[in-house]
Amino acid sequence: MFYAAEAVLITKGLQYAKHTAVISNFNKEFVKAGVFPKEMSRLLEKAFRYRTQGDYGMVPVAEDEARAVFAGAEEFVAEIKAFLKKEGYL
């Protein structure tokens, strides 16, 4: 999801080194602008939160939650791909 969000930001000439900057600017440039629905923002933020939990050994993510985020990730990437294709990038 992170790389898909990065790809869509690049279409505006925007690149960021930190995950938080990618998420923040994806929200600013595409969600708040109405290009993508708010649910995509929620999914991206939740996936990042769970990734951080997994990477740093904080509270484990429940299997059902992980499966839900995975399903959401597939939808997120599909929407980004459709946008990139519509805009002539794919």
* Whole-model pTM over 0.85: yes
Q: How many domains does the chain have?
A: 1
14-56 pLDDT, tens digit each: 999 999 999 999 999 999 999 999 999 999 999 999 888 877 7
Q: CA 38, CA 47: separation in Å to the nearest integer? A: 14
23 closest CA partner among 54, 49, 45: 45
Q: CA 48, CA 78: separation in Å to the nearest integer? A: 18
Structural domain that includes position 64: 2-86
Q: What pLDDT, on a 0 to 100 scale, did the predictor assign at position 59?
A: 78
